[in-house]
């Protein structure tokens, strides 16, 4: 049976983790400069077996083996093949197994690709990583086993939550977990660094690629989740500060700060202990996000589990991890008097870190504050977009100006030779902003400040891009990421300020006129699909300004396995704007509630994030090329 096979593989992996730790300690005692082949073989076997165990779970989903509880609860025989496969990680147990796979693979590859670094440093990294693997593997095997049996065996499964049956959400967890769990390897490396006193440039080089790799995938994972929420949940926006969205964003802030701090450690041998703290913070936030999502504490449409015992285990594991890592940090901490010139690249990078930590603390407080107030007062408090917009938006503009000027500043001590250029860039940004304000016929002090600062970064980075092809001394990956980030903030600002939203009730045949648009409810049809029925509306949108027409088809879907109703948005995307419509039925009435939105430049928000991630991959490939 697949259940027995899966359990044997998991148990074997537990013993392999113990053997790796044991032989690693034995290898530390000998005086040889290299790591024993036995450890390499055990790590390879460990990675192979955990991958086979996951393939076993996928096979169970594909063949609809309902004797396994996880398959019974998250699949059914009529589900399309693609969602049978993705359903294997679209649940608590399967996603946790995916966690452990990434932990294990990163452990093996770190051992394999860091041969230029001291043996003891690599061995301690391996030991700490395997302690993490054993912790999560024990939790999986004894508390959240994906191969648990159910008797009597049901003839049909309950089915996967319909809103999870989506291509973007199918790839979202693997991408996000590479970022989340990838942080474990530089957490382990940071602990090993403290244990063996391995610091400075060499330590920075040993983890830089791993940080870049996880940061790039984390960025893509956040993007996939955001796109899914945009068209699947009917929110109609790029970000809604949902608690689970925040849980993925928190470690991203820490990773971004860490990436920039590593540059200082590598170039100037400064900020070593700050880098260690960021390594710890990144993975701790990743595990914290896992705790919040799986404990049932957060109320969100895509939390995985609500079993308090699971939350307690993860909380205990998280607490022990924080305690021992902080104790080790304080034990090894040495006060160092860094002399930083206020006008130097390292100072600007440190300022970048302060901004990231500010954003991190703001989002963390907004996420966990409702939890504490509910526990203390038994009243639910909602912290939503108004709080984040009021606190974060004014600071973003200032951050963008520092982000623009920082790369132009020299190491150690900078002069102000580039001040004249920056003033010209600022003037150009203000003039372009006046043009945007004139075209969109709207004015807001904060929004104009954000747009000017975004344009400042775009123009500054564009000049760098031009110089890159003439001087060839600049960092292409940095220029691409910064330029894309400038465009991201610009398009977000335009989208946020110049969107059009209307909410009204219509019945078949009626028309609604508003601003420069007319919306007509043309038709309504009922159609049968493989695993759901759909009520499909036909709406004709006419823009009176240019006399152009578009037709959209929002749906109300009725799923049988499980019995669920979902409201599917219809989106018409163009380079300049999205038309977005959702409809929902009003009980005992011929009327339907219609939500219409015009969202400018939505596609460019997604494209900007893709290019931010591409910047990370470019840096990764550049580093790999140097190593060969």
Between 382 and 50, the higher pLDDT residue: 50
- Domain locations in the chain? 1-165, 176-336, 391-498, 500-603
To which residue do tokens 């339907």 refer?
A: 592
pLDDT for position 415: 66
The CA distances from residue 115 to 109, 141, 152, 400, in Å, are: 10, 33, 52, 39
Task: Indicate if the pLDDT at residue 1 is higher than 90.
Answer: no
The average pLDDT across 565-574 equals 91
The secondary structure of the chain in percent helix, strand, coil, rounded to multiples of 5, reads 65, 10, 25
Per-residue pLDDT tens over the stretch 262-319:
999 999 888 999 999 999 999 999 988 877 776 666 555 555 555 566 677 777 888 8
How high is the pLDDT of residue 414? 67
CA 184 to chain centre: 15
pLDDT on residue 627? 55
Task: Please state the rounded mean pLDDT for residues 79-90.
Answer: 86
pLDDT at res. 489: 95
Task: Give φ, ψ of 532 to 5 degrees.
Answer: -165, 165
Band (335; pLDDT cuts 50, 70, 90): low
Tens of pLDDT, residue by residue over 490-522, are 999 999 888 899 998 998 999 999 888 999 999
Question: In this structure, what DSSP letter does residue 408 have?
Answer: G
Phi and psi angles of residue 552, each rounded to the nearest 5 degrees, phi first: -120, 155
Q: Check residue 374 and give its pLDDT.
A: 74
Residue 135 has pLDDT above 90, yes or no: yes
**Is the predicted pLDDT of residue 233 greater than 90, yes or no?**
no
Higher per-residue confidence, 536 vs 624: 536
Q: Could you tell me what percent of the chain has a pLDDT over 70?
A: 93
- Among 293-302, 470-479, 593-602, the range scoring the smallest mean pLDDT is 293-302
- Please tell me the predicted confidence (pLDDT) of residue 315: 79
The answer on pLDDT for 252 being more than 70 is yes
Task: Report how far residue 590's alpha carbon sits from residue 482's, in angstroms, rounded to the nearest whole number.
Answer: 51
pLDDT band at 443 (very low <50, low <70, confident <90, very high): low
Mean pLDDT, the chain, rounded, equals 88
Contacts for 491 with CB less than 8 Å, ≥ 6 apart: 601, 604, 605, 608
More confidently predicted of 451 and 471: 451
For residue 174, the Cα-to-chain-centroid distance in whole angstroms is 10
**Six-digit token string for 326:** 């902080």
Cα–Cα distance measured from residue 21 to residue 30, given in angstroms and rounded to the nearest whole number: 15
Distance CA 271, CA 345 (A): 13
The β-bridge partners of 538 are: 523
Is the pLDDT assigned to residue 628 strictly greater than 50?
Answer: no
Q: Stretch 380-399: mean pLDDT, rounded? A: 86
């Amino acid at each position: 049976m697949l259940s027995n096979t899966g359990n044997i593989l998991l148990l074997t992996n537990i013993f392999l983790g113990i053997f790796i730790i044991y032989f690693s300690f034995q290898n530390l005692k000998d005086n040889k400069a290299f790591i024993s082949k036995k450890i390499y073989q055990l790590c390879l076997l460990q990675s192979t077996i955990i991958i086979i165990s996951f393939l076993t779970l996928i096979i169970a989903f594909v063949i609809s083996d309902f004797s396994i509880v996880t398959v019974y609860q998250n699949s059914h025989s009529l589900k399309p093949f693609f969602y049978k496969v993705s359903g294997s990680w679209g649940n608590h147990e399967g996603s946790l197994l995916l966690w452990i796979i990434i932990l294990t693979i990163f452990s093996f590859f770190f051992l394999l690709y860091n041969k230029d670094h001291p043996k003891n440093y690599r061995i301690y990294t391996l030991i700490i990583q395997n302690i993490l693997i054993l912790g999560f593997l024990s939790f999986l095997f004894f508390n959240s086993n994906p191969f648990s049996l159910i008797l009597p065996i049901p003839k049909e499964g309950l089915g996967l939550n319909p809103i999870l049956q989506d291509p973007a959400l199918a790839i979202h967890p693997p991408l996000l977990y590479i970022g989340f769990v990838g942080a474990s390897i530089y957490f382990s490396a940071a602990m090993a660094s403290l244990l063996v006193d391995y610091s400075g440039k060499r330590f920075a080089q040993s983890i830089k690629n791993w940080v870049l790799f996880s940061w790039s995938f984390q960025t893509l994972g956040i993007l996939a989740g955001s796109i899914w929420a945009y068209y699947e949940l009917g929110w109609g926006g790029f970000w809604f500060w949902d608690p689970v969205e925040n849980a993925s964003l928190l470690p991203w802030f820490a990773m971004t700060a860490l990436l920039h701090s590593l540059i200082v450690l590598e170039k100037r041998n400064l900020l070593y202990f700050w880098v260690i703290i960021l390594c710890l913070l990144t993975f701790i936030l990743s595990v914290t996000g896992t705790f919040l999502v799986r404990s049932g504490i957060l109320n969100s449409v895509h939390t995985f589990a609500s079993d308090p015992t699971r939350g307690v285990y993860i909380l205990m594991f998280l607490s022990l991890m924080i305690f021992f890592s902080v104790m080790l940090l304080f034990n090894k901490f040495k006060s160092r008097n860094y002399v930083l010139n206020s006008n130097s690249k390292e100072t600007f990078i440190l300022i970048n870190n302060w901004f990231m930590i500010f954003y991190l603390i703001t989002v963390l407080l907004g996420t966990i504050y409702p939890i504490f107030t509910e526990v203390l007062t038994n009243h639910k408090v909602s912290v939503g977009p108004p709080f984040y917009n009021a606190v974060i938006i004014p600071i973003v503009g200032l951050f963008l100006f520092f982000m623009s000027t920082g790369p132009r500043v020299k190491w150690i001590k900078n002069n102000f030779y580039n001040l004249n250029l920056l003033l010209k860039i600022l003037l150009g940004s203000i003039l372009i902003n006046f043009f945007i304000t004139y075209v969109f016929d709207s004015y807001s002090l904060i929004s104009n400040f954000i747009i000017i600062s975004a344009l400042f970064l775009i123009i500054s980075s564009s000049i760098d891009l031009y110089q890159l092809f003439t001087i060839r001394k600049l960092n292409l990956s940095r220029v691409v990421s910064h330029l894309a980030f400038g465009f991201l903030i610009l398009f977000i600002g335009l989208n946020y300020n110049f969107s059009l939203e209307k909410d009204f009730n219509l019945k078949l045949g009626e028309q609604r006129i508003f601003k420069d648009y007319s919306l007509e409810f043309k038709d309504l049809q009922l159609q049968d699909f493989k695993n759901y029925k759909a009520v499909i509306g036909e709406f004709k949108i006419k823009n009176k300004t240019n006399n152009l027409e578009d037709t959209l088809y929002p749906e109300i879907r009725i799923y049988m396995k499980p019995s669920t109703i979902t409201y599917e948005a219809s989106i018409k995307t163009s380079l300049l704007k999205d038309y977005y419509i959702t409809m929902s039925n009003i009980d005992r009435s011929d009327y339907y509630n219609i939500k219409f939105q015009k969202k400018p430049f939505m596609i460019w928000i997604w494209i900007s994030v893709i290019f931010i991630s591409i910047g990370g991959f470019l840096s990764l490939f550049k580093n790999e090329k140097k190593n060969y």
